[in-house]
A and B are shown apart, each in its own frame.
Chain A
């Protein structure tokens, strides 16, 4: 059988290609020195192999850059995303609110603070420019004080002019790298002599566009800059020769100035120079430009959703891609709610900074979704609720196995608690697994011989103090109740009921009771049927009662979970709070270090006021 003398180039690395060439030559009879590195044949082989290798490398690169999953160069990723109808998010300037109080020295009817008044704020020694996108009309109040709250956004407002010419056509590329397209405006002036301008609106699809629609399309070009494109008189109106395109935009530094709260201004306010500025909302929200990884993640999902939101994943993708200040979104249908509320889609959001979003932001989310949801589905944006785990950590350690002190071990466990909360909890849908924490704690120091973690669950409720109401407190995890008549599965902090400081507990048979403490901590029951405790679902229902005051920021309910692995539901987020650490010497059995109230994220969270939450079924805290 004849040998296969054909040249096989199956390898992709240099040495492999060269070996393929050598194999080929070994089947030839004319030349023999291909095996010696210093021979002339080797020089030729190197040249051939190098050339083949370069070609295969370039081919590999081209192949990679052809697909969204493997492309590495931004312009290629953006180009692939463009084919899916996806425009990457621009940098977004953070927003703040300033209370402007003006002393005009007279009594003008109103004072108008013009749009784009420049304010300055300093963060980490660097100055940032904030301006107000809209003008503000300030009226005098009853005391004659001219004061108003002015929303401001970080970034310098700029306008760029393009003259339309078919003879020497230009691309309408915004000549700046850090354009915040949130405030992008496109106006078209008739000509240099006719200053009539019309405002055009951005369109993300061609649905509903006619030949007369004044719409423009926005995309990121190959240089990473945003480009405005107009229609062709078939799909949206075309711009004509002599028109002047005026593109207004902001140039922002993104997240750099988040937290700014020391605003100053060197200009007058409405023409008056005697004024004071006070930050009412420190700079928040904002985002940096969308990264390559984020584009790769969001573009296909955005395409799948087709600019509509139907499934829970559609909601999440759409909201997260548009509202850049949000860290996480949880979405569930009303039929999954407890109690079920049909015809609604519930959305809960966790901002990147802070715990809750403002009511204005909730309305913005609702409005954004209005044209994207299917008919008959109403959206409801609710705050996340925090379910707190109170871990009591007891470790024993052998002092002979370590140079660390008991305090040092306790300190190490504190760090683990904080990092575990950050990495494993603190988002929607993140379960608490008791054994995972125990393993992490065991790894703090090799001298730790045993770890025991007892957990209790805390939940807060901020009642209405002016009127009686019903409340639901849902732990969504089974409450420890081994048998009938097992009392005191529920405990609470103090509140005022019928003019007396009271507490909640249960009778062991599903009844919630209210009691006061007498001499010797004797419980005197004021109301033996104040509500119900469902030990199986972990829900406490409080009947229609008036709680006129409460201790601290809210009433805290405390239960023992039936099992120590805790699962959050819907808009619940698990955090640690009131953690306690005990370190015991295994040789002496002495408690050598103890830390109470470890500082965690859960330590500083507060419960949202009920009046900002849903009360659609006449039951406060319905959405938990």
Chain B
């Protein structure tokens, strides 16, 4: 006979930790700030989207090429291309997330593209949303 008593639900702690890309020290401790869980994954996705292909040595397919596409004339086809690039990059290089939505909105007057991402981190039911504004710098 099974013993009676309450059993707490099993929760699997998903723990991701990473350094901030800006490498800024903590204002109080002076140590590098560490990003954890969703914050770390969001940071990684930003790295991925903002890297052009052929930019990383020995891994030429890493990146999304969005920055390169900012120099193209923007239309619905280009919009779809950017969405596809981002999706492919995340599927290939970020196994920690499942994408639920990608939106790309052009801001031609300010030479920008606004990217909206909605995704789930594996084993986490809470949706995460990220907004990025990508701007031509030259």
Contact = CB atoms under 8 A, between A and B. Distances in A.
Interface of A: 14-15, 30-33, 36-41, 43-44, 46, 50
B interface SS class: loop
A258 B137 CA distance: 62
22 contacts: A31-B17, A31-B19, A32-B15, A32-B17, A36-B94, A36-B96, A37-B93, A37-B94, A38-B44, A38-B94, A39-B18, A39-B40, A39-B43, A39-B44, A40-B20, A40-B21, A40-B47, A41-B19, A43-B47, A44-B19, A46-B58, A50-B58
B57 interface: yes
Contacts of A46: 56-59
Given A38-B45, A38-B47, A33 B94 contact: no
A37 B59 contact: yes
Contacts of A32: 15-18
Contacts, number: 59
Interface of B: 15-21, 34, 40, 43-45, 47-48, 51, 56-59, 62, 93-96
A18 to B, nearest CB: 8
Contact of A38 (B20, B57, B93): B93
B15 A43 contact: no
Contacts of B16: 32-33
A37 B18 contact: no
Contacts of B19: 31, 40-41, 44
B62 to A, nearest CB: 6
A201 to B, nearest CB: 56
B44, B45, B93, B94 — most chain A CB neighbours (10 Å): B44
Contact of B44 (A31, A33, A44, A50): A33
A interface SS class: helix
B58 to A, nearest CB: 5
Contact of B21 (A37, A43, A50): A43
A39 B95 CA distance: 12
A442 B96 CA distance: 64
B7 to A, nearest CB: 29
Contacts of B95: 36
Contact of A41 (B18, B45, B56): B18
Nearest to B49: A38
A39 B58 contact: no
A33 B17 contact: yes
A14 B57 contact: yes
A41 B16 CA distance: 12
B42 to A, nearest CB: 11
A36 B89 CA distance: 13
Contact of A39 (B47, B56, B59): B47
Nearest to A41: B18
Nearest to B22: A40
A26 to B, nearest CB: 13
B22 to A, nearest CB: 9
A50 B59 CA distance: 12
A290 to B, nearest CB: 39
Contacts of A33: 16-18, 40, 44
Contacts of B57: 14, 46, 50
Contacts of A44: 19
A51 B34 CA distance: 24
A55 to B, nearest CB: 14
